[in-house]
Structure 1
Amino acid sequence: MTDELAAFSDVGEVVRVHRPEIPVMCMHRSTFEESAAAFVAKFDGTVLYAVKANPHPLVVNAIFDGGVRHVDAASIGEIEYVAKLRPDAVISFNNPVKPAHAIRRAYRDFGVRDFVIDHPAELDKVRDETGPDITVQVRVGRRNAAAVIDLNTKFGTTIKEASRLIVEILRMEATPAVSFHVGWQAQDPEAYTRILQRIVSMPNAGELAYINVGGGFPSVLMPPGLTLDDYFAAVSGMSIPLRAEPGSALAASGASLLTRVLLRKERAVYLNDGIYGTLNEHAHYPGPGPHMVLDSMGRPRFGRETEVTVFGPTCDSLDVLPNRYSVPDSTQTGDWILFSQAGAYSNALVTNFNHLGEIDVVEVLTAPTVAR
């Protein structure tokens, strides 16, 4: 499985030379590698890449080149894919609800020895399909209003129930651990600290092999005045070993998205990509994402700006970004809008609605600087 792509010096060259007709994901290999290396160096524990964020071979290989060796997988398909691409990967099956056949295949065919549960019935499935030589994480849930998306409405049990499940895990002679997730793009580092304090206060916390603090480390929506260092500080100094499973924090900055302006109206632009494609994540942004306009020759446009509504290419009126975007008044049909910080939950979420799901992927050696 190769990660070799057509390579260009910058996004302007992609427009001028490649002359694409469909949306283009511009992968910046060195940026993925640098993001991974920085996270591994500063996080006080084991780092797992949440491969769902961007499973493209270039991305996974670059993140491994940055020092990551563990992967958070959410399905047997992801496990099979990663095992083929990176035989050296240590894979955890970190979906709290899994089909029994997927648990069985993960354990028997791919050597997975780390699973997550949040309910006794799921523990029964894991027990029936594996052996005692496993680690079982109990995922605890705690609502977090300071996350852009709270991920604790679907998964997670109480601290009290987690303690009971740990007893059952020990009874089956497996190794217990605990995991949690504070939510996507967490805006408050102390959210990690608060739940960690509750976990280490559990009566059987001393039995835990580790605590998995999940993801949630901000990337494109980093709160003003904060950096990842503030989040690392919030989880430092623990007596129990830690793990983390970042997705956006490793992948977001590593790619940019080039979209063509199909039509410019006075107060609207229509692009060849939208929420059914690589811009799905933008539907959750509280404000416009970082972007810039390039003309048909790949040159940046400047000048007085107008706020416009951004529509995608499908026939669905819901295919619209929720925030208005500022573009130069000179923006016209045939131009390109470049979205930076597009490496996570972009190409991984493309659908084929209206048969408009085709995208191109290229390597761009120099990541663009986008101020807004």
Structure 2
Amino acid sequence: MGHNKTVWDNPAEVIRNLQPDNPVMAFAPTVLQERARRFINGFPGLVTYAVKSNPEEVVVQNLLSAGLKGFDVASPAEIDLVGRLAPGAARHYHNPVRARCEIAHAVEAGVRAWSVDSQSELDKLFEQVPTSIDGQKVEISPRFKLPVLGAIYDFGSKFGATPEMAAEMLRAVEARGYVASLTFHPGTQCVDPAAWESYIRVARDICDMADVRIRRLNVGGGFPSYRVVGVEPELEAIFDRIGTTAEEMFGQDAPELVCEPGRGLCADAFSLITRVKAVRDGSSVFLNDGVYGGLAELPVVGNIDRVQVFDADGRLREAERSGRIIFGPTCDSVDRLPGELGLPADITEGDYVIFHGAGAYSTVTNTRFNGFGAMTHATVMALE
């Protein structure tokens, strides 16, 4: 993936100067660092970045510059990436299903925080993971699930134990001499603070069932990015609800809190610049990027409607908008965005469509299917 070394004012300037024929991901380090400080200053505990959402080295480096001290890693590759770029940072291996070779790799790398959501996986950890590494106790956090609430994607369909099973595992973790903690994930793009409240209340029930006082409670990711015009996430309301609910439920025994935002940290620091390949008979629009590229997750989580359209000279098109079907560049019929997207009536071939807030699950899921997907990077001072 190429990177233009010039620092531009904004994506429109990229268009005016480069007129790129391939997709460009515009990155604003100032936006990423501001968002990181918003989490660090607002969340009542340790903030760890979910590397999977965007593992670009420049992202990790800017988060470190903003003061982030922890990372949620889900594979040996992510463990090694953070170990190389931030040797002193905390690494939480919270992908709850791992091959034995992956467990061995993480132990060798010195990882001391793990999650688990089944007895069979817990048995593997007991077999391979010592209770302390380099003189520090190892933490194991059973991960539990509840019915999805206020999210657009249910992580519980793949991960998470019932509260009763989580209590059994928690009891076993403490009996074996590990640091006993709990973790959950409320679901992707979760805008309702009540989702976290429900989970924290059940976390207390699990502790009571197990008769265990947990050291830490990881409240997961799910923190939303700004995807829909006029619906900017109220992160501080979520932070406040998490803190007050934990205090209410645990009182003097309140565990240390941890969160692991991915999308909520990185998404709004990137804008994807795409170009119109064709407007077919004045109706559907074909772009040079789609669901096999930087827009891979849109069919699952819904459209980003924070879009701007510029002509080939970088002038903003401001005509009245109407719904258009949007296709990507490949010859695969599933390469289309869900529903319709409102675009200016005068959009034409050669124009540019910019998707703001496209930094999560985009660069990392970009493919070269059908010979497309030659995405480049550009650095900008601001995104609009």
Question: Under TM normalisation by the shorter chain, which class is it?
Answer: over 0.9
- Is residue 199–residue 205 contact of structure 1 (8 Å, CA) maintained in 2? no
Q: Which residue of 1 aligns with 2:196?
A: 192
- Is residue 211–residue 242 contact of structure 1 (8 Å, CA) maintained in 2? yes
Range moving further from structure 2, 78-87 or 240-249 = 78-87
- Is residue 304–residue 356 contact of structure 2 (8 Å, CA) maintained in 1? no
SS at match of 2:80: helix
Equivalent position amino acid for 2:112 in 1: R
- Listed as ranges, the gaps of 5+ residues in structure 1 are none
Q: Which residue of 1 aligns with 2:120?
A: 121
Match of 2:370 among 339, 354, 366: 354
Q: Which residue of 1 aligns with 2:311?
A: 295
Match of 2:270 among 224, 235, 255: 255
For residues 307-322 of structure 1, what are the structure 2 equivalents within 5 Å? Answer: 307-322=323-338
- Is residue 314–residue 353 contact of structure 1 (8 Å, CA) maintained in 2? yes
For residues 226-241 of structure 1, what are the structure 2 equivalents within 5 Å? Answer: 227-237=234-244, 238=246, 239-241=254-256
Residues 131-159 of structure 1: per-residue CA shift (max 9 Å, x gap): 11110010001121421001101111111
Q: Which residue of 2 aligns with 1:218?
A: 224
Range moving further from structure 2, 166-175 or 249-258 = 166-175
Return the TM-score normalized by structure 1. 0.94
User: Alpha-carbon deviation of 1:224?
Assistant: 4.4
Residues 151-192 of structure 1: per-residue CA shift (max 9 Å, x gap): 101111111111111121122211111100110011321111
Return the TM-score normalized by structure 2. 0.91
User: Against the structure 1 CA distance between its residues 182 and 146, is the aligned structure 2 distance closer, same or farther, given a 3 Å change threshold?
Assistant: same
Equivalent position amino acid for 2:216 in 1: Y
- Is residue 174–residue 212 contact of structure 2 (8 Å, CA) maintained in 1? no
Residues 7-66 of structure 1: per-residue CA shift (max 9 Å, x gap): 212212211222322100000000000000011100001100001111111111112222
Equivalent-residue separation in structure 1 for 2:58 and 2:18 (angstroms): 19
Q: Are positions 1:137 and 2:153 aligned together?
A: no
Residues 222-249 of structure 1: per-residue CA shift (max 9 Å, x gap): 7948611111121113222110000111
Q: Which residue of 1 aligns with 2:150?
A: 146
Residues 247-284 of structure 1: per-residue CA shift (max 9 Å, x gap): 11101110000001011121111001001111112223
Q: Which residue of 1 aligns with 2:298?
A: 282
Q: Which residue of 2 aligns with 1:246?
A: 261
Q: Which residue of 2 aligns with 1:71?
A: 71
Equivalent position amino acid for 1:326 in 2: G
- Is residue 15–residue 297 contact of structure 1 (8 Å, CA) maintained in 2? yes
SS at match of 1:318: coil
- Is residue 148–residue 187 contact of structure 1 (8 Å, CA) maintained in 2? no
- Is residue 44–residue 243 contact of structure 2 (8 Å, CA) maintained in 1? yes
Residues 56-98 of structure 1: per-residue CA shift (max 9 Å, x gap): 1111111222221100011111111221222232111110101
- Is residue 48–residue 69 contact of structure 1 (8 Å, CA) maintained in 2? yes
Equivalent position amino acid for 2:236 in 1: D
Give the aligned CA root-mean-square deviation in angstroms.
Answer: 1.9
Number of equivalent positions = 366
Equivalent position amino acid for 1:60 in 2: V
Residues 288-313 of structure 1: per-residue CA shift (max 9 Å, x gap): 52101011111111123332111000
Equivalent-residue separation in structure 2 for 1:336 and 1:92 (angstroms): 40
SS at match of 2:106: helix
Equivalent-residue separation in structure 2 for 1:48 and 1:4 (angstroms): 29
- Is residue 63–residue 250 contact of structure 1 (8 Å, CA) maintained in 2? no
Q: Percent identity?
A: 32
SS at match of 1:207: coil
Residues 319-368 of structure 1: per-residue CA shift (max 9 Å, x gap): 00012122222211111000001111111111221121220011011221
Equivalent position amino acid for 1:346 in 2: S
Equivalent position amino acid for 1:38 in 2: R
Q: Which residue of 1 aligns with 2:11?
A: 11
Q: Which residue of 1 aligns with 2:28?
A: 28
SS at match of 1:347: coil
- Is residue 227–residue 357 contact of structure 2 (8 Å, CA) maintained in 1? no
- Listed as ranges, the gaps of 5+ residues in structure 2 are 133-137, 247-253
Equivalent-residue separation in structure 2 for 1:231 and 1:205 (angstroms): 28
SS at match of 2:141: strand
